[in-house]
Amino acid sequence: MQPQFKDRSAQSKMLLVLALGSALGILPFTIYRFVQQDWYVAILDSIVVIGMSALFLYVYKTDDVKRASLVLILIALVANVSSFYLKGINQINWTYPAMLAAYYVMSPKKGMIVNFVMLSFYLPKLFVLLDFVSFATVIITIFITNILAYVFSSGLKNQEIILKKLASEDYLTSTGNRRSLDAAMNKLYKTLKNHDKIASIILLDLDHFKQVNDTYGHIKGDDVLVRLSELLMNFFNGKDEIFRYGGEEFLVICRNISKVKAYKLSEAFRVIVKNNIVIDKKQQTISLGVCEYIKEESIDEWIHRVDMALYQAKKQGRDRTISA
């Protein structure tokens, strides 16, 4: 099922709007060119309309923004340069929206490179067609447009990165939060359901953590959580698959790893925590549950099984790993 428009990324929305807007905007010119029997430009406009329409459908169905961005920019570049050489100086007006679009469907640096490649095709003919003042005016306005667009789009990209981080990371431990866990599990579930792959999850919990908060205060408790998350990220090589499940619980996604191997990893990590988190000369322990995905079970069923394994680990005395 295709995501709704409001649920798509900013880049996906921009591509859909640009593709559809370009197709609808150029269509009247296409009809006019055919009526005027301006065959070369009419055919060029037709190709652009068809290409943009196809691109709209492709993004709508697949949400593949990476490939679509490249195709859109290539269409815009070829169409603009071709129409300029076919119809002359008036077509230069189409350059500005095309250059602006490059910054919003690609990274700012790539957008600037593409635009200056486009400009290199214009320069020889502009130099011949225009007097010095007109030539300088066009070049300067294009340059200013690119600078402003670059600065503005760079700011938007940075804000987008910050917002994504705030939306997906736990503020205290810098591990993934429940929102990013849901997204990661849904993506993994599709892979496991449609392909012959394996995966396991590890759910761990700090033992007697309430006593730490009650005895030493929440600041010390937060320090323990941060230290645990650091050990997790070092041991499991990064933070993309590590999530704060709630309170003092963390969940680790182990792709392409069986329950047996995940159990061994869990036991090794349990020892690391015991040796590296010491509070008032007392070792801090953790309990862990391990569970491998079973074909056709739902995400909720999978998480419920690992939750029950963790429950059994605590019931049997804590400081241990139990496999579901």
The torsion angles phi and psi of 131, rounded to 5 degrees, stand at -75, 170
- Spatial CB neighbours of 106, under 8 Å, sequence gap ≥ 6: 69, 70, 73, 114
Q: Which residues are catalytic?
A: 248
What digits encode the pLDDT tens for the residues 53-102? Answer: 999 999 999 888 888 988 988 898 889 899 888 888 888 888 898 898 88
Number of CB atoms found within 10 A of residue 205's CB: 21
- Spatial CB neighbours of 184, under 8 Å, sequence gap ≥ 6: 176, 240, 241, 243, 253
* pLDDT for position 1: 56
Percent of the chain with pLDDT over 70: 98
Give start and end residues of each alpha helix (H) in 169-258. Answer: 178-194, 209-216, 218-235
Task: Report which of residues 1 and 5 the model is more confident about.
Answer: 5
Reported pTM = 0.67
By C-alpha distance, which of 322, 227, 235 is closest to 284? Answer: 227
Say if residues 88 and 119 touch (Cβ distance below 8 Å): no
Computed over every residue of the chain, the mean pLDDT equals 91
| Mean pLDDT of the 18-38 span | 93
Question: Domains of the chain (ranges plus CATH)?
Answer: 5-168 (no CATH), 178-323 (3.30.70.270)
What digits encode the pLDDT tens for the residues 180-208? Answer: 999 999 999 999 988 889 999 999 999 99
